[in-house]
A and B are shown apart, each in its own frame.
Chain A
Amino acid sequence: MKMLPKYYEFFNSVKINAGIEALETIPYELNLVNANRPLIITDKGIVNAGLLKIVLDSFADSKLVVGAVFDETPSDSSLDIVNKVAQIYKETNCNSIIAVGGGSVIDTAKGVNIIISEQTDDIRQFMGVDRLSKPQRPLIVVPTTSGTGSEVTLVAVISDKEKNVKLPFTSNLLLPKVAVLDPRMTLSLPQKITAATGMDALTHAVEAFTCLQKNPLSDAYALSAINLIRENLIEVVQNGKNADARFAMANASLMAGIAFSNSMVGGVHAIGHACGGVAHIHHGLAMSILLPHVMRYNLDVVGEYYAELLLPLAGEDVFINTKKEDRAEKSIQVVENMKNELKSICGMAVSLSEAGVKEEQLEDIAKTAMNDGAMSPNPKEMDFEDVMQILKLAF
């Protein structure tokens, strides 16, 4: 009999507008909350890919007046940028925010929202869990990658470049008002980024299904996300113009985001964040490389959960034809095969050395990983030596 947790919490208030011409619903949503003058936060890549134009064109014949567009968001959101954008918001009398982009853009938008809504000039005092007290300004998120799930998470991470630390903000109030999934927004995503962000979404779902705060609701989202990833990731990497597969991956990413926002992520993310911080490798790529290794490390503690994951990971036939006691190991093999297939299609690295990590960086990565917040929810204790062992295997 499946055991439920002794106690769990689950919350997600984000309205999801998903599908054909989803962007065109934004003016209606903002009008509902009397916020017809949004600030758009995005980055140069989005502008150059023509995605901002698609968003602006979708507002035709509405009452929406865009107060300003900030398109200089860097790949790593920082305090300076958040303060700068908040100033623009005030000067241009905006009353809502639209974030168009990936994780950094969305985190920047959440950070700006904290400054504006809490009427502060020092966001650092709101760092931590449940520190926000005031309702936030309407935030609409239009994700342009299918991986981070930030459009439905209650977390924002902003870098303090001066002190070289990442500041986490966690509050239900940080959840966006609406997440808009429009197939047009991910069609131009490059092949390797598509593969890496897809593996990021898979990692969110697998860790959400196995980490300490897992619960029946987050499980449901995680399993559905993995199903969609199995059916669509390889196709979308091979054929990026397949709008249906793109849309399915956007949904998978969103569902995995809802799952991990309520059950947290674990060792893969802790080590992956450290790989990003020390060796500057792409987050999704780090997830893809590390996922099977951390799964194997956790196997003796959560093997039962990995066995369950075989059904969404490999499909009915493989699940039925694999002995019960072999299913957990088979799940890990399926993830490894997926990784190798992506390498053969688009050349995505399968080891840390291929991704550009130097052997002498492994110790720094392990030390940094030990102090990452994602280490806590991992189902099995990990100390420095354990992380070093995982890193050596992944190298």
Chain B
Amino acid sequence: MHNISVIREIKPNKSCFKRTVVTIGFWALGRALQSLSHFDKKVIEDIKDWPENFKISLNVLPLGPYLSIVKKNGKLKLNGVSSKENPTEKFQNADLIVDVKNIDTAFRMIIAQWGVHDVYAQHKTSVIGNVVDAMKFIRIIYAAEDFLFPPILSKNILKRLRKTSFSKFSNRMRVYFLGLFFGI
């Protein structure tokens, strides 16, 4: 006679630490994008053709966190960050949706271990929407990462860093002190 195993349902664990880090990272990314859309020429150029109220969602599958950004008055605005499992309506029905396939991937992105191109290379994102908009979004994410992370980290996650200059330094300070706290 074989012993019969106890058959029971096993539910997945929750990685609260990673969810918290990713939620904070999404908030910082949203604020940085909002700030850059006020002064960075390349970001302004990339978002100029998006219509008013153009909405972008960055989602971690399957249960979040979620980041929503919207274009208002010609600038990007952080529309919200949520770590709830069931997102409210403002995180749904976006014009461009970028899904990260799991929380571990999002975590590695947020701590600057993997760049957007690494995640792409590993098939760990999917995009719903127009390719042209997706390419513009990738470029503005690169811009935000270039300003948010110090060069020692960003050189690992960007294919090319912007040239070091006084204006880059002052803009980085602007993102840190005005962008993150006040969104300007």
Decide whether A and B are members of one complex.
yes
**B-binding residues in A (CB < 8 A):** 5-9, 127-131, 165-166, 168, 212-213, 370-373, 375-377, 380-381
Q: Smallest CB–CB gap between B60 and chain A, Å?
A: 16
Pairs A–B under 8 Å by Cβ, sample size 15: A5-B121, A5-B122, A7-B122, A8-B123, A9-B123, A131-B128, A165-B130, A168-B131, A371-B136, A373-B131, A373-B135, A375-B135, A376-B135, A380-B160, A381-B158
Q: Smallest CB–CB gap between A300 and chain B, Å?
A: 12
Tell me which of B121, B132, B134, B158 contacts A377 (CB under 8 A). B121
Chain A binding site: helix, strand, loop or mixed by DSSP? loop
B62 CB within 8 Å of chain A: no
A5 vs B138: C-alpha distance in the bound complex, in angstroms?
22
Task: Please give 4 more A-B residue pairs, beta carbons under 8 A apart, in addition to A376-B117, A377-B121.
Answer: A213-B120, A213-B121, A371-B136, A376-B138
Chain A positions within 8 Å of B129 at CB level = 127-128
Q: Smallest CB–CB gap between B90 and chain A, Å?
A: 21
Q: Smallest CB–CB gap between A98 and chain B, Å?
A: 29
B156 CB within 8 Å of chain A: no
Q: Is the CB of B127 within 8 A of A8?
A: no
A8 vs B124: C-alpha distance in the bound complex, in angstroms?
10
Tell me which of B123, B136, B158 contacts A213 (CB under 8 A). B123
Q: Smallest CB–CB gap between A9 and chain B, Å?
A: 5
Q: Is the CB of A376 within 8 A of B120?
A: yes
B159 CB within 8 Å of chain A: yes
Q: Is the CB of A129 within 8 A of B128?
A: yes
A377 vs B117: C-alpha distance in the bound complex, in angstroms?
7
Chain B positions within 8 Å of A213 at CB level = 120-121, 123
Q: What total of A-B pairs shows CB separation below 8 Å?
A: 54
A8 vs B158: C-alpha distance in the bound complex, in angstroms?
20
Q: Smallest CB–CB gap between B80 and chain A, Å?
A: 23
**A-binding residues in B (CB < 8 A):** 117, 120-124, 126-132, 134-136, 138, 158-160
Q: Smallest CB–CB gap between A124 and chain B, Å?
A: 10
Q: Smallest CB–CB gap between A104 and chain B, Å?
A: 19
Closest to B126 in A: A129
A370 vs B42: C-alpha distance in the bound complex, in angstroms?
13
Q: Smallest CB–CB gap between A184 and chain B, Å?
A: 37
Q: Smallest CB–CB gap between B29 and chain A, Å?
A: 19
Q: Smallest CB–CB gap between B49 and chain A, Å?
A: 10
Q: Is the CB of A371 within 8 A of B122?
A: no
Q: Is the CB of A371 within 8 A of B120?
A: no
Chain A positions within 8 Å of B135 at CB level = 370-373, 375-376
A385 vs B128: C-alpha distance in the bound complex, in angstroms?
29
Chain B positions within 8 Å of A7 at CB level = 122, 124
Q: Nearest 7 pairs between A and B by C-beta?
A: A381-B159, A381-B160, A212-B121, A129-B126, A128-B128, A371-B132, A373-B131
Chain A positions within 8 Å of B130 at CB level = 127, 165
Q: Smallest CB–CB gap between B61 and chain A, Å?
A: 11
Closest to A6 in B: B122
Q: Smallest CB–CB gap between B98 and chain A, Å?
A: 10
Closest to B45 in A: A384
Q: Is the CB of B128 within 8 A of A127?
A: yes
Chain A positions within 8 Å of B132 at CB level = 165, 371
Chain B positions within 8 Å of A6 at CB level = 122
Chain A positions within 8 Å of B128 at CB level = 127-129, 131
Chain B positions within 8 Å of A375 at CB level = 135
Q: Smallest CB–CB gap between B128 and chain A, Å?
A: 4
A131 vs B127: C-alpha distance in the bound complex, in angstroms?
9
A8 vs B121: C-alpha distance in the bound complex, in angstroms?
8
A212 vs B121: C-alpha distance in the bound complex, in angstroms?
5
Chain B positions within 8 Å of A380 at CB level = 159-160
Q: Is the CB of B127 within 8 A of A128?
A: yes
Chain A positions within 8 Å of B123 at CB level = 8-9, 213
Chain B positions within 8 Å of A371 at CB level = 131-132, 135-136
Tell me which of B121, B126, B159 contacts A130 (CB under 8 A). B126
Q: A165-B132, A371-B135, A376-B135 are in contact. Are A212 and B127 (CB under 8 A)?
A: no
Q: Smallest CB–CB gap between A305 and chain B, Å?
A: 14
A358 vs B138: C-alpha distance in the bound complex, in angstroms?
30
